[in-house]
Chains A and B, each alone.
Chain A
Amino acid sequence: MIYFTQKVLKDLKGNLFLNAVTVASTALSVLIFSAFALFFVNVGALANRWVEDARIMVYLNPDAEAETIARLGEAIKSIPDVRGLEFVPREAALQRFRAQLGSQGSLLDGIAENPLPDAYEVLVKVRSWSWDRIGPVAGKIGAMDGVDEVEYGQEWMGRFVNILNLLRLTLYGMGGLFFMGTVFFVANTIRLVLYSRREEIEIMRLVGASENFIKYPIYAQSLFLGMIGGILGLGILFQLYRLLEANVANTMSSSFFEIRFLPVEIAAAVFSGSLLVGWLGCYISLRKFLRS
């Protein structure tokens, strides 16, 4: 292992500038892409917190009898996507409302009769990417006996979720573009390196080195460059994140907007991507180079 690393480093030293360019471009791509991913992850986490909190308010028919209400509760509970259910009597609803109004709660004092109906508050198993599943559940409940109206913030939540999905698509697209762009760029710098080493490669062939014997070290070097680029890009992002985190912690004491770093899987995926950039860049440039 040490032996191979030494060999790789020795070979890379000969084209310090071009190899540095390869590392820098990979690192920059990784940095930009993963910064966007970081942003998305945090917005997504925020969205999930909201969406998970989303509930369907099932307003009951004022004439519904206790038995109907109980049966309705059982029926709702038996829907697979429902994860919780709470009966909210109209008095409790009014109290809640009053509490929400706070200091202006006295506004309600003038109202003689409680205008609110009894309701079920239904918790649904949805995440931001499966928001679509809440609609059918609400529809099913709405058609049940004793239900007057259902409400689940379909309008604004739906819009928010749509934006989030668009953002996710953009992220994938960006990932693809950055990946291809970097591969192309790296392939070309590697080709320049190969070109500058063509005499060496020709001599190796003349003394009987097999194509694989010539290629493997070049692959090793390219993978190494990709690895360094990935580590650098993610490392810089992590430092920036720590800086930002410190600032946010200073200015906003609320735990509401708590930012976090990329989860391990995404960081690992970005890192693998940078290795793949090295490998593919090498593959492409070698194909072109060895043909000529």
Chain B
Amino acid sequence: MTAYGSQSAIIQMYRVAKRYGAKSALTDISLDIADNEFLFLSGPSGAGKTTLLKLLYLGETASEGQIIVDGLNLSRISRKRVPFLRRKFGIIFQDYKLIPTKNVYDNIALVVEAVGVERRSIKKMVNSLLRTVQMEDRSRAFPPSLSGGEQQRVAVARAIAGNPKIIVADEPTGSLDADSARVIMGLLKLYHRRGATVIIATHDTALIRQTGGRVILLNDGYLEVSTVIPKLRP
């Protein structure tokens, strides 16, 4: 069994709403996410999955309600503390968001440096991360020259570079071949075992059944179901 519920919540959302102008993207969401949980956010396209993730790292601010992340109340946090909040996260963006003008190595080194690792350790750390995602031989390549799967792996390496408490992945397998998807999911599970809380937004139900875990189902901005799906045994 997953250990959620028995552990303290690392994320708490209470009656959260997000509107874009007149359009409601999320309505009345109350949700606790336990420390070291492995959680899926599922639901059809446009359900509000990406929006919910953005609210957590203040990529967007909630229109209503309260969000607490690892003890930080997001409605009260000062601008100066936002980077501190974001460094609790490792984010794998749906569109990867790699810096196109920096090579693979520098894209990852950026985060390693930003979290304050001392300079002589940076190279070792980045190379070890690149090895983890099996991209060490492409470290000098620029993101636009990489395939989708390769970019995704770099994005994963960057997400885990700061040793985050929470890993957030938005459709991490959406545009990948089965092989790349397996590699990515394997890495996410590895970091979950090492203690990270993992939140994956996906509309891919097959992926959920392969892995198992708690599933939050969103539909048109409403939280419909929260249930635990066991791992499918092949």
Contacts and interface: CB of A to CB of B under 8 A. Distances in A.
B50 to A, nearest CB: 13
Contacts of B83: 205, 208-211, 213
A206 B95 CA distance: 13
A206 B54 CA distance: 10
Contact of B99 (A3, A199, A211, A213): A199
The number of chain A residues touching the other chain, given as a range, is 10 to 19
B102 A200 contact: yes
Binding site secondary structure of chain A: helix
Contacts, number: 51
Contacts of A207: 86, 91, 110-111, 114, 158, 162
Contacts of A205: 82-83, 86
Interface in B37-86: 57, 59, 80, 82-86
Nearest to A14: B101
A208 B89 contact: yes
A268 B85 CA distance: 45
Interface of A: 3, 14, 197, 199-200, 203-211, 213
Given A204-B114, A208-B83, A208-B86, 20 more contacts: A3-B119, A14-B101, A199-B99, A200-B102, A203-B98, A204-B99, A204-B110, A205-B83, A205-B86, A206-B57, A206-B86, A206-B91, A207-B91, A207-B114, A207-B158, A207-B162, A208-B85, A208-B87, A208-B162, A213-B114
20 contacts: A3-B119, A197-B101, A199-B100, A200-B99, A200-B101, A205-B86, A206-B59, A206-B86, A206-B91, A206-B93, A206-B97, A207-B114, A207-B162, A208-B85, A208-B89, A208-B111, A208-B115, A209-B114, A210-B83, A213-B113
